Structure 1
Amino acid sequence: MAASSSVARPITGRFVLITTIAFFAVVISVNIVMMRLAITTLPGTEVDSAYSASLAYQREIDAARQQNERDWQVQAHIDRRPDGSAAIALEARDHAGAPLTALNFLARLERPIDRRADRAIEISETGPGSYRGRAEGVAAGQWDLVIEGDADGRRMFLSKNRILLN
């Protein structure tokens, strides 16, 4: 009678060494891939220098206080079109309701999660207190609409609002 018997392979030092090296090679490879993905998709910092931002903080507070005292009413309406462009319409009035003219408005659509997707909008005056602009390549989703109004090189108005474009 012939019996087939399987002989168990002994665990040798060579097997343990190869298994350990293979295990750590897989762990290190996955860590390298994940680290590379994290670094390449990092959108960057909100400010380049926290020290510079802290120095400008008091000036920002003063500018906001002055803006509140002017009591300007700036209404913005933005639509995303099927071709991926976005059109913005601004109506600017002073505290008495008179149209604000000869202002240089700048607008930006900022992605809350990725600064690389930000879009600048060129705005031009189309009538007394009426301003229009357009941006290309605007994806659907959440954006921050930042509107700045300058007169004689001095910022007179700043607004930042979270919006949803479909």
Structure 2
Amino acid sequence: MTASIRVARPVTGRFVLIALLTFFSVVIGANMLMMRFAITTLPGTEVDSAYSASLTYEREIIAARQQNERRWQVQVHIHRRPDGEAVLAIEARDRAGAPVAGVNFMARLERPVDRRADRAIDVSQADVGTFRGSASGVAVGQWDLVIEGDADGRHMFVSKNRVVLN
């Protein structure tokens, strides 16, 4: 009965060099691949210039206070049809409960994670204080519904709410 004995090969400098180069090539390759995916799927920044956004911040605070003083009651209903069309209904009333007149509403659906998927909603006045609109190609999921109301060139109303469309 003969037993075979395996002799271990010695670790040489060439083997260590090849092992290190292979290891770091895999790590660097994986990092480059992940970096490429991160850069190509990044939707961008929320604002183009933080400095210019900070300059308008004071005006936004004043506009929000004025909006609160108006005490408008704005009811919004949005739903998504199976064909991908989102249907929007807005009803705006003043503090006394009368329909708001002379205001043009604009609306858009913004994807929280990807600006490229944002959809404008065509809004038109159906009656005094009542507005209707729709947008096509709206995917299922979470959206930010942004509604703005202008009258005589002034921002009168701004609302941003997270909605889930099924």
The TM-score range, normalised by the shorter chain, is over 0.9
Deviation of 1:34 after TM superposition, in Å, equals: 0.8
Query: Does residue 1:67 correspond to 2:71, yes or no?
Result: no
1:114 to 2:114 alignment: yes
Letter in 2 for 1:19: A
Written as runs of structure 1 = structure 2, the 5 A alignment for 1:11-160 is: 11-160=11-160
Percentage of matched positions with identical amino acids: 72
1:63-105 deviation digits (Å, cap 9, x = unpaired): 1111111111111110111011100011111122221233221
Q: Which amino acid aligns with 2:107?
A: A
Aligned-residue CA RMSD in angstroms?
1.6
Per the normalisation by structure 2, the TM-score is 0.92
* 1:3 CA drift (Å): 6.1
**Residue 161 of structure 1 pairs with residue 154 of structure 2:** no
TM-score for both structures, normalised by structure 1: 0.92
AA paired with 1:60? E
Spell out, residue by residue over 1:121-143, the C-alpha distance to the aligned partner (whole angstroms, 9 max, x if none).
11001111111110111112221
Q: Give the total of aligned pairs.
A: 166
Q: Which aligned runs of 4 or more in structure 1 are off by greater than 6 angstroms? A: none
Letter of the structure 2 residue corresponding to residue 110 of structure 1: E
1:55 & 1:2 partners in 2: Cα distance? 88
Residue 69 to residue 2, structure 1, CA distance change in 2 (3 Å): closer
Q: In structure 1, what residue type is equivalent to 2:100?
A: L
